[in-house]
Amino acid sequence: MNLTLKIWRQANADAKGEMVTYSIADVSPDMSFLEMMDMHNEQLIGNGEDPVAFDHDCREGICGMCSMFINGEAHGPDRLVTTCQLHMRKFKDGDTITIEPFRANAFPVIKDLAVDRSAFDRIQQAGGFVSVNTSGNTQDANAIPIDKHDADKAFDAATCIGCGACVASCKNASAMLFVSAKVSQYALLPQGKVEATDRVMSMVNQMDEEGFGNCTNTGACEVECPKGISLENIARMNREFMSATLKG
Amino acid sequence: MITTSIARKVAMALSGLFLILFLGQHFTINVTSVFSEKTFNFLSHFMGNNPLVQFVLQPILIFGVVFHFVMGFVLELKNNKSRSSKYVSFKGAANASWVSRNMILSGIVVLSFLGLHFYDFWVPEMNYKYVEILPKDPDRYYGELVHKFHSPVRVGIYALSFVFLALHLYHGFASSFQSVGLNNKYTRGVKWLTSAFALGIPAGFIFIAIFHHLNG
């Protein structure tokens, strides 16, 4: 396939970025999107140009590092996949592909397509954990009976890889889906209920401090989430938050 | 409490649900004008002269309306600030409905309509009762209503406004349940019922306007 790539190039966080148009030839439909980007970078390096910076790590859809906004959608046109799982067979010969970084004030661009998503780390650090006494008295988690329905819901929430596609897709750049998944995975389990009140308050406050937008229930985050995290988690977080507020 | 994003979201939902309750009550009274002039006059006179309605519920309603649109604008401004560098290509239609992405637009049209509606009905009513202090006439309401719908332009504006209200409600009504934390096995049924309300009630208001235009 021969393609035209329109890629956001930005030298650093303070530089003014712009879309730059490139041509790339002989792309195999069997290539992953990131392999196509690798191929493009090799061409740039061969021409003595600066390669395009982009995040990637496991390339198996698990780590949540890849974060491209492809043809107007986070992780591209496919559903339930990350950018690394997107294949070039989803495109046609002669296509023009627009590639941008995930855009949100809380996700500042580091360079080109690489963005700083440490805001998610700070939200997680604010309450996304269970305090456990590790002095030798820890109870075997399997010794606590948990309703299968709750365990399944908690596991579904825990599959969130924190890639930020929810923020990138939301017209308001809201992080509610991510935060709600992290709140839910603990709130549904007995181990997490002990700190549930403090957790939801701390994580929501941190989310607001980071400058994410407000959720208006458009549902775009759920559609674009590579792990299919449900909006049900946002409703649960709202309940948890209201309950925590009433408890003071 | 209202300083956090979730508190704002819940407040927006609760004020919206309150306004929806009022809309249902308003429609119930208005629709009687199609069937019985006497019933419509009786209900209108009751609502217009009952102290509880006039001096308790009416101020609460006005507060609810003002709160809902002020909060709507505040949220819109905050949301716009959260992404100052816009996408070159953003395919919003691929993952969210037009109505859900344009609540501010439908809201502005509904707000403009409310201005016209207040000018048409509320201001003359306040003038009649509290400024000129004219004698009570329990039979005047039906005639005033029919008179307002003589103008085809006014009927057209009303109809168009109610189309936008339907769009606003279509997303907003179901969305308010999600905002207050209700998303469960009944959500599909709730979505069906709220959609029926969102389309049915505005259609009913349009029908009332056209009915009186044609028969007045």
Count how many pairs of residues, chain A against chain B, have C-beta atoms within 8 Å: 133
A140: closest CA of chain B, how far (Å): 31
Domains in chain B, CATH or no CATH each: 5-80+102-215 (1.20.1300.10)
Nearest to B126 by CA among B62, B212, B213: B62
* CB nearest A232 (choices: B10, B101, B183): B183
What is the pTM (predicted TM-score) of this model? 0.95
- Consecutive 10-residue averages of pLDDT for chain B (216 residues): 89 98 97 97 96 96 96 96 96 97 97 93 90 91 94 96 98 97 95 98 98 93
Domain residue limits at A182: 118-247
Domain boundary among A111, A139, A155: A111
Nearest to A99 by CA among B87, B62, B195: B87
Number of domains in chain A: 2
Residues A72 and A152 in one domain: no
Domain boundary among A57, A89, A111: A111
* CB nearest B183 (choices: A71, A235, A245): A235
Nearest to A180 by CA among A200, A165, A194: A200
CB atoms within 10 A of CB B45: 16
Question: How far apart are the C-alpha atoms of B15 and A60, rounded to whole Å?
Answer: 45
Residues A78 and A132 in one domain: no
Given strand A96-101, what is the order of strands in its sheet? A18-24, A3-9, A96-101, A68-70, A73-74
Residues A208 and A142 in one domain: yes
Question: How far apart are the C-alpha atoms of B112 and B69, rounded to whole Å?
Answer: 11
Domain boundary among A83, A111, A139: A111
Residues A10 and A73 in one domain: yes
> CA distances (Å), A27 to each of A32, A47, A56, A218, B209, in order?
10, 18, 20, 36, 61
In sequence order, what are the residues at sequence separation of 6 or more whose Cβ sits closer than 8 angstroms to the Cβ of residue B52?
A: none
Are B9 and A215 inside 8 Å of each other by CB?
yes
Residues A193 and A231 in one domain: yes
| A chain contacts of residue B7, beta-carbon cutoff 8 Å | 241, 245
Q: Please give the residue of chain A at the shortest CA–CA distance from B8.
A: A214
| A chain contacts of residue B181, beta-carbon cutoff 8 Å | 235-236, 238-239, 242
Residues A106 and A140 in one domain: no
Question: How far apart are the C-alpha atoms of B99 and B150, rounded to whole Å?
Answer: 32
Are B88 and A100 inside 8 Å of each other by CB?
yes
Residues A122 and A243 in one domain: yes
Are B79 and A204 inside 8 Å of each other by CB?
no
Q: Is the ipTM of this complex over 0.90?
A: yes
Answer yes or no: is pLDDT of A133 > 90: no
Q: What is the DSSP string of chain B?
A: -TTSHHHHHHHHHHHHHHHHHHHHHHHHHHHHHHH-HHHHHHHHHHHHH-HHIIIIIHHHHHHHHHHHHHHHHHHHHHHHHT--S--SS--GGGTS-HHHH-HHHHHHHHHHHHHHHIIIIIHHHHIIIIIS-PPP-TTSHHHHHHHHTT-HHHHHHHHHHHHHHHHHHHHHHHHHHHHTT--STTHHHHHHHHHHHHHHHHHHHHHHHHHHHHH-
Q: A226 and A80 in contact (C-beta within 8 Å)?
A: yes
B97: closest CA of chain A, how far (Å): 7
Residues A10 and A54 in one domain: yes
| A chain contacts of residue B84, beta-carbon cutoff 8 Å | 105
Burial of B60 (0-12, 13-18, 19+ CB in 10 A): exposed
Residues A131 and A229 in one domain: yes
Chain B interface includes A219 (CB < 8 A): yes
Check which CATH number belongs to the domain holding A237 and give it. 1.10.1060.10
| B chain contacts of residue A8, beta-carbon cutoff 8 Å | 88
Check which CATH number belongs to the domain holding A29 and give it. 3.10.20.30
Residues A83 and A183 in one domain: no
pLDDT tens profile A176-235: 999 999 999 999 999 999 999 999 999 999 999 999 999 999 999 999 999 999 999 999
A103: closest CA of chain B, how far (Å): 7
Residues A165 and A188 in one domain: yes
Return residues 61-100 of A near B (CB < 8 Å): 69, 71-73, 77, 98, 100
Answer yes or no: is pLDDT of A141 > 70: yes
pLDDT tens profile A105-127: 999 999 999 999 999 999 999 99
Residues A148 and A228 in one domain: yes
